[in-house]
A and B are shown apart, each in its own frame.
Chain A
Amino acid sequence: MRNTLAILRKELNVYFTTVIAYAGFGAFAFLMGLLFVASVNRFQQATQYALQQQRPEMLEQLNFNDSIVSPMLSTGIWMFLFFVPFLTMRLFAEEKSGRTFELLMASPVRSIEMVLGKFLSVMFLMLLLCGIPLLFPLILHLYGSGTGGSGVDWPPVWTGILSVFMLGLTFSALGLFFSSLTESQIVAALLTFAALLVGFVLPMMAARLEGDWRAFLEYLAPISHVGRGLEGRLVAHDLVYFGSAILACLFLTHRAVESHRWR
């Protein structure tokens, strides 16, 4: 336990003394900001169009959640494709190339403590990263509230962000695994990127199939488990999917680290 915390602390120390965390958060915030501005523009155009056309039923359909927050998040998760490998590539690869892995292995630290400490550190980064898209509904809430109350329906925002967070954690666990396989951060990042890309295109592949294979690939694709959360529905089997995917990745990472002790 103490070793896990010591490693967590060390990882966060490195993330925040180097430029990694700041560059990651900064770039993510900037891109999310662009998405937000684009979504707001589209929302305004839709509103104006509905007003010009004198169609109140269209206006009733328009709301911040469905027109701004949800599309912003579902587009935003594509950014994980770049940000997750960027954040996770160094975790084990850097220890190996910097020869500090030898220090950890010769210290009374168990492999599981290393894996958990490192995973918790990316979990913390992911928590902060997912805090960034929360700012935009907050802006809508502050400037878009009227006599009818807040313009933002908060529960779907929470479930959406939670789903995105779980997706980010799953990707991070995968990145951690690939980092444990190699000495090279570039290789770790590339492998993670490739694996995530496959994850993103799985639903498209599934769409061409039918029957059991289709259902299987759809279940396997991480992003097909975010949709319901973005709609405001927190479904147990989505959470079970993320939980088991994370555990599987952590288990594989542990095996990869432990293998150094017997080869």
Chain B
Amino acid sequence: MTVIPRAALLASPSLKLMIEVEGLTKRYRDHVAVRDLSFKVNKGEIVGFLGPNGAGKSTTMRMLVGFLPATAGRARIAGIDVFEDPMTVKRHVGYLPEVPPVYLDMTVREYLAFVGRIKAVPRSELKAEVVRVATLAGVDHILPRLIRNISKGYRQRVGIAQALLKDPDVLILDEPTVGLDPIQIEQVRNLIIDLGKSGRHTIILSTHILSEVRATCERIIMVARGEIAADAKIADLEAEHGASLEQIFTKLAAA
């Protein structure tokens, strides 16, 4: 594998701006799912992507990871255009879709090894890497089990483990704690906070659980009806509106 100069750029410590979204729009015929979205995320930030159901959170994330093409606008990750050079971007992004993308007829170990292979984890490191991410996500004790036979919460965690493979610079997590019990939610939150502490990972996570944002993120981007309704630090936002996050959410979502 030859080293692409642009990939080297990703590792450079001088790079501050990790995610850059400009005028991102997604239109399905006459329905606009996402309208003219613009925001920036610096390296090491954990950003909560907030909004009611159907606000366009998943659509935006899908565009960021190169699964959905945008109708207009651009998105850059580590300075690389997602739509012009998707392959390079995809090598450095870990993505957890809304529904955990697992193969029911594979064991957890086989599944993680497969995702590792298509993410170009070197053959010699594959085994150890699978164990590493499984341990992080708390599924290391169920590696030999068939995914069909594990609970929804475990499937969700296998999905998280998959996103962590190859230790990506950018993590895009679509509702990472959906379907988990309170203890597991706590574990996943701690995992995200730990990843954030290292300062190497940039994380965007979507949710509509406000306590989750408060626990894990400093900054939130709130979307409603496909547009940005707020983009600020949680503390600033609360001070500005003189209200709690819950009240602001209800107000902005209804507006």
- Using a CB–CB cutoff of 8 Å, the interface residues on chain A facing chain B are 2-3, 5-7, 9-10, 13-14, 17-18, 98-100, 102-110, 261-263
Known contacts A7-B118, A103-B97, A107-B118: A263-B69 contact under CB 8 Å: yes
User: Are A2 and B67 neighbours in the complex by a CB distance under 8 Å?
Assistant: no
A18 partner residues in chain B, CB cutoff 8 A: 105
- Interface contacts (Cβ under 8 Å), in number, total 74
By size class, the interface of chain B is 20 to 34
Tell me how far the C-beta of A204 lies from the nearest C-beta in chain B, rounded to whole angstroms. 40
User: Are B118 and A102 neighbours in the complex by a CB distance under 8 Å?
Assistant: no
Question: Hey, what's the 0/1 contact readout for B82-95 against A, CB within 8 Å counting as 1?
Answer: 00001100110101
- Least CB separation from A104: chain B residue: B118
User: Are B101 and A100 neighbours in the complex by a CB distance under 8 Å?
Assistant: yes
A107 partner residues in chain B, CB cutoff 8 A: 90, 115, 118-119
Known pairs A17-B146, A100-B103. 4 more at Cβ < 8 A?
Answer: A6-B114, A13-B106, A106-B66, A261-B86
A contact face: mostly helix, strand, loop, or mixed: helix
User: Is B104 close to A, CB under 8 A?
Assistant: yes
- Least CB separation from B103: chain A residue: A100
Known contacts A103-B162, A106-B90: A17-B106 contact under CB 8 Å: yes
B222 partner residues in chain A, CB cutoff 8 A: none
B86 partner residues in chain A, CB cutoff 8 A: 261
User: Is B65 close to A, CB under 8 A?
Assistant: yes
User: Are A102 and B101 neighbours in the complex by a CB distance under 8 Å?
Assistant: yes
- Least CB separation from B102: chain A residue: A100
The 3 A-B pairs at the shortest CB distance, nearest first, are namely: A103-B101, A6-B117, A108-B90
A261 partner residues in chain B, CB cutoff 8 A: 66, 69, 86
Q: Give Cα A7–Cα B39 distance, bound, in whole angstroms.
A: 36
A3 partner residues in chain B, CB cutoff 8 A: 117-118
Known contacts A2-B120, A98-B104: A106-B67 contact under CB 8 Å: yes
Q: Give Cα A87–Cα B65 distance, bound, in whole angstroms.
A: 31
Q: Which of A18, A108, A261 has the most CB of B within 10 A?
A: A108
Tell me how far the C-beta of A111 lies from the nearest C-beta in chain B, rounded to whole angstroms. 11
User: Is B157 close to A, CB under 8 A?
Assistant: no
Q: Give Cα A6–Cα B118 distance, bound, in whole angstroms.
A: 7
User: Is B74 close to A, CB under 8 A?
Assistant: no
Tell me how far the C-beta of B237 lies from the nearest C-beta in chain A, rounded to whole angstroms. 31
Q: Give Cα A105–Cα B105 distance, bound, in whole angstroms.
A: 20
B95 partner residues in chain A, CB cutoff 8 A: 103, 106
Interchain CB contact (< 8 A) of A108 among B69, B91, B162: B91
A105 partner residues in chain B, CB cutoff 8 A: 66-67
B91 partner residues in chain A, CB cutoff 8 A: 108
Q: Give Cα A99–Cα B101 distance, bound, in whole angstroms.
A: 5
User: Is B110 close to A, CB under 8 A?
Assistant: yes
Known contacts A99-B101, A100-B103: A109-B118 contact under CB 8 Å: yes
Known contacts A10-B103, A13-B110, A108-B90: A103-B66 contact under CB 8 Å: no
User: Are B105 and A17 neighbours in the complex by a CB distance under 8 Å?
Assistant: yes
A109 partner residues in chain B, CB cutoff 8 A: 118
